[in-house]
Amino acid sequence: MNHPHEISLFELNGIVRNALKDCFPDRYWVRAELSDVKENRSSGHCYVEFVEKESRRGNIVAKARGNIWAMNWRLLRPYFEEQTGQQFTAGIKVLVEVSIEFHELYGYSLTVTEIDPTYTLGDMARHRAEILRQLEEEGVKDMNKELILAPVPNRIAVISSATAAGFGDFMNQLEHNSRGYRFETHLFPAVMQGSQTEESIIDALNKIFRKQDCFDAVVIIRGGGATSDLNSFDSYLLAMNCAQFPLPVITGIGHERDETVLDSIAHTRVKTPTAAAEFLIERMDEAYDRILTLQAQLDQTVRERLTAERQRLTTLTDAVPFLIRERMAEEKIRTDRIRSAITSRLHGILASEKEQLHRISAQIPRLAQQSIHKEQLRIELLKERLHTIIPLRMEGAAARLASLEQIVSLVSPDNILKKGYSLTLKNGKVIRNVGELYRGDRISILMQNGSAEAIITAIEPNQETTK
């Protein structure tokens, strides 16, 4: 069955192509995300895939192929990368000027004629701001900044690619520092470009963490090459690791544009590896200058002190002989004064003693005379008294003798016997008690003019006396 308007596919695609060309004669600025970027090495053309994602769930809601012809790509790519510090690569958002093409064989595509890097920059800035906000909310954003860098930061853990020109610059700068500071560096190699950057740097950080006591700081350096592909450093995970790292992190990742997230959270951010080395050297300079200042102060102070002491000593040395002389003179005056005082006092004492002696010795003969005279008078008096007393005593004694004689004569047994009393004797002994006598006893009775013998015939004691 024949249809009058039957046409071939090529013819149809040709109609579509012409229709599109008629309908969309202009160029359009389109916002989209790159999902794939491929450069054909031989032709130099760049083939990309644009997508648009739903903002909430991220589902792809639009898709288009794009071409950047070699002639354009050669100009656009370096411009874009220079402006954004970012490769024209999958995952970034772009604002591109396109014309709409339709090719019979390849179909619908967009041909890129212009790229506006400011849009990408804005998007990246938003992305970075978002990460920083999150880090701040989690309280880790300023943690590394709050660490105190050692005053002598010369034990450095370096994270870099071993072959990077920036690493060479850094090492060269450190080693050839003008004052000859000694730096101990250890390289922890990491991939500094591309999709493995984040993981690789975190891995290096973990290695350093295990040896953290060996280091004063971590330096993350990169560069020398193209200032592109920095979005690896706008990583939440990497920033989280660095912010909480126990050693100060110094970044020198080699770019001039806005800071990456890593730069924002680092303890110190410098632009290039060389600047990182200079920063460390300056810090050493500060320490060294401080030491030199202290040394100079010490030197000056000690010198001044010694000079002052020496001067003091000289002054004293000069003063001593004079002082001694002065003092000796004073002492001499004093001793002289004391000596004369003592002498005069002694003289006084001696004179008064002498005088007293004179006085006493003058009195002695007179006193002796007086004593002798007094004793003589006493003797005379005694003599006189003896003369009167002796005859008186003699008379008294004679009278007393006479009276005694009288008493004696009165009480003699003869006188008693004369008065008629008699003595009774038994065996020659005087008997005074009738109890001594027994019947038949022979007794003698003594009387004034003789004695008689008798025999006891009866004994009658008195009642009272026998009792």
Partner 1 sequence: MSKKNAPTYSDAIRELEEIVRKLQSGDCEIDELRGYTARSIELLRICKDKLFKTDEELKKLLEEME
Interface ranges with partner 1 (CB under 8 A): 150-152, 154-155, 180-182, 184, 186, 207, 211, 214, 284, 287-288, 290-291, 294-295, 297-298, 301-302, 305-306, 309
Alpha helices by DSSP H, 85-222: 117-137, 165-175, 197-210
Judged by DSSP in three states, 11 sits in: helix
Closer CB to partner 1, 121 or 152, in the complex: 152
- The Cα 388–Cα 334 span in angstroms is 79
Closer CB to partner 1, 185 or 227, in the complex: 185
Closer CB to partner 1, 66 or 153, in the complex: 153
- The Cα 97–Cα 35 span in angstroms is 17
CB of 186 to partner 1, least distance (A): 5
CB of 306 to partner 1, least distance (A): 7
Closer CB to partner 1, 98 or 205, in the complex: 205
Closer CB to partner 1, 98 or 204, in the complex: 204
Round to the nearest angstrom and report the end-to-end CA distance of the chain.
216
Closer CB to partner 1, 294 or 360, in the complex: 294
- The Cα 7–Cα 237 span in angstroms is 58
The DSSP letter of residue 173 is: H
CB of 276 to partner 1, least distance (A): 19
For tokens 């990460």, name the residue.
Answer: 131
Closer CB to partner 1, 145 or 155, in the complex: 155
Alpha helices by DSSP H, 47-116: 70-84
Residue type at position 152: V
CB of 319 to partner 1, least distance (A): 18
- The Cα 368–Cα 356 span in angstroms is 18
CB of 225 to partner 1, least distance (A): 27
- The Cα 136–Cα 263 span in angstroms is 15
CB of 176 to partner 1, least distance (A): 14
Residue type at position 168: G
Half-sphere exposure of 175 (CA within 13 A, CB side): 7
The DSSP letter of residue 411 is: T
CB of 347 to partner 1, least distance (A): 55
The DSSP letter of residue 260 is: P
Judged by DSSP in three states, 54 sits in: coil
Closer CB to partner 1, 71 or 306, in the complex: 306
Closest CA to 98 of 123, 139, 64: 64
Closer CB to partner 1, 214 or 329, in the complex: 214
β-strands 184-189, 155-160 pairing = parallel
CB of 85 to partner 1, least distance (A): 33
CB of 240 to partner 1, least distance (A): 25
- The Cα 356–Cα 363 span in angstroms is 11
- The Cα 355–Cα 402 span in angstroms is 70
